[in-house]
């Protein structure tokens, strides 16, 4: 090879290297910002891409609440037939909430008639009305019984639905052994690219063990030696899948809830870890006692591949924000969605 050819090859190598740097740097433009919330050198820092954060902020703008309605006058149960949940409200308060629900859930899908028979609003013929009634009870239950997670911020239908009849973030139990894979043994959902685990090789359904069943999330034992609390690699990967989902759903790093010095330690962990602990149990409670009992109510086209009802996870409410709608106090404008604990709704669904 001539001297000129060598220099030409080197030049092209430099051009290729510069091009690769430009391409890779383009994946994270603008340069991410970081917010330190622990001692330097400990990794206790949150990293944000301002471009992506701006899109998340735009997607988490709460709707303007309709002005409060007077509580005087006839009750909704006296004005309308078959009012099973909100009959104690005045007719004006009841109408205000119904109009709000239409805007929260079905603004482009018929409004009131998405749930109601226009010829007979009292009729329960549409499954959507039966589900909506149960979701009202679930919302009241969350706001009154799960304050360790939602605090006084609370939730409304909009928290999950965002103007859509079906929330964008729901999940179904997956078939971990699809036809033709039995010869591979128990795959446990491995190597099935799924957005919920960022297309990694982690199990594609990290929810069933923890948000439907009550499997232990612990990975390490309390001692250096093997103990009964130490989990297998397979169990650990399910935990990693759930943690990946939670991190993505809240738009935060692992250190938002964990101390990088010792991820398993509760003593030095940020307070958000306790809130997340309650959130996992709240999601499981709602899936077991509200969503799963609705299985016979949902039509087949609304069920999963195994015939189960849609269920919720962290992203159903958070949708990329560390707090749903960045902490907008949704429940304060609708006190009827936060009944006193003594009025906790029943946990048995019926069609």
Q: DSSP assignment of 290-334, as one string?
A: IIGGGTTTS-GGGS-TTSPPPB--HHHHHTTSSSGGGG---GGG-
What is the domain count for the chain?
3
Buried b (16+ CB within 10 A) or exposed e, 291-319: beebeebbeeebebeeebbbbbbbbbbbb
In a domain, 236, yes or no: yes
In a domain, 108, yes or no: yes
Check whether 3 has a pLDDT greater than 60. Answer: no
In a domain, 338, yes or no: no
Same domain assignment for residues 181 and 311:
yes
Same domain assignment for residues 190 and 235:
yes
Helix-helix angle 272-286:127-145, to 10 degrees: 150
Check whether 187 has a pLDDT greater than 50. Answer: yes
Contacts of 343 (CB under 8 A, 6+ apart): 140, 144
In a domain, 333, yes or no: no
Check whether 349 has a pLDDT greater than 50. Answer: no
Same domain assignment for residues 218 and 272:
yes
Reported confidence tier of residue 348, pLDDT bands at 50, 70, 90:
very low
Identify the pLDDT of residue 240. Answer: 92
Identify the pLDDT of residue 34. Answer: 86
Q: Which domain holds residue 202?
A: 173-316
Reported confidence tier of residue 2, pLDDT bands at 50, 70, 90:
low
In a domain, 339, yes or no: no
Reported confidence tier of residue 199, pLDDT bands at 50, 70, 90:
confident
Quick: pLDDT tens for 130-180: 999 999 999 999 999 999 999 999 999 999 999 999 999 999 998 776 666
In a domain, 154, yes or no: no
Reported confidence tier of residue 39, pLDDT bands at 50, 70, 90:
confident
Residue 131 CA, chain-centre distance (Å), reads 19
Scan for tokens 């009305």, then name that residue: 129
Give the pTM: 0.86
- CATH number of residue 279's parent domain: 1.10.468.10
In a domain, 322, yes or no: no
Average pLDDT of every residue of the chain: 87
In a domain, 133, yes or no: no
Same domain assignment for residues 272 and 214:
yes
């Amino acid at each position: 090879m001539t001297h000129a050819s060598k220099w030409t090859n080197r030049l092209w190598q430099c051009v290729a290297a510069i091009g690769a740097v430009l391409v890779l740097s383009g994946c994270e433009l603008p340069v991410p910002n970081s917010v330190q919330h622990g001692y330097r050198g400990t990794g206790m820092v949150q990293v944000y891409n301002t471009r992506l954060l701006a899109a998340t902020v735009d997607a988490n703008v709460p709707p303007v609440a309709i002005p409060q309605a007077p509580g005087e006058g006839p009750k909704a149960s006296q004005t309308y037939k078959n009012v099973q949940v909100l009959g104690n409200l005045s007719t004006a308060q009841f109408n205000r909430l119904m109009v709000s629900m239409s805007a929260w859930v079905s603004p482009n899908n018929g409004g009131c008639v998405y749930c109601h028979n226009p010829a007979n609003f009292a009729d329960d013929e549409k499954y959507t009305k039966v589900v909506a009634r149960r979701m009202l009870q679930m919302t009241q239950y969350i706001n009154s019984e799960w304050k360790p997670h939602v605090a006084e911020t609370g939730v409304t239908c909009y928290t999950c639905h965002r103007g859509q009849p079906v929330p964008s973030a729901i999940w179904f139990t997956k078939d971990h052994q699809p036809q033709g894979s039995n010869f591979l043994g128990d795959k446990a959902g491995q190597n099935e690219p799924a957005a919920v685990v960022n297309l990694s090789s982690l199990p594609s359904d990290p929810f069933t063990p923890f948000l439907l069943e009550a499997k232990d999330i612990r990975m390490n034992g309390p001692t250096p030696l093997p103990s009964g609390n130490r989990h297998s690699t397979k169990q650990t990967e399910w935990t990693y899948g759930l943690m990946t989902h939670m991190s993505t759903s809240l738009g935060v790093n692992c250190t938002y809830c964990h101390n990088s010095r010792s991820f398993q330690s509760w003593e030095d962990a940020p307070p958000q870890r306790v809130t997340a602990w309650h959130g996992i149990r709240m999601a499981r409670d709602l899936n077991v006692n509200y969503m799963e009992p609705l299985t016979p109510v949902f039509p087949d086209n609304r069920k999963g591949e195994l015939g189960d009802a849609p269920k919720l996870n962290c992203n159903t409410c958070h949708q990329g924000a560390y707090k749903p709608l960045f902490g907008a106090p949704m429940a304060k404008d609708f006190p009827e969605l936060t009944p006193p604990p003594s009025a906790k709704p029943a946990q048995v669904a019926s069609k």
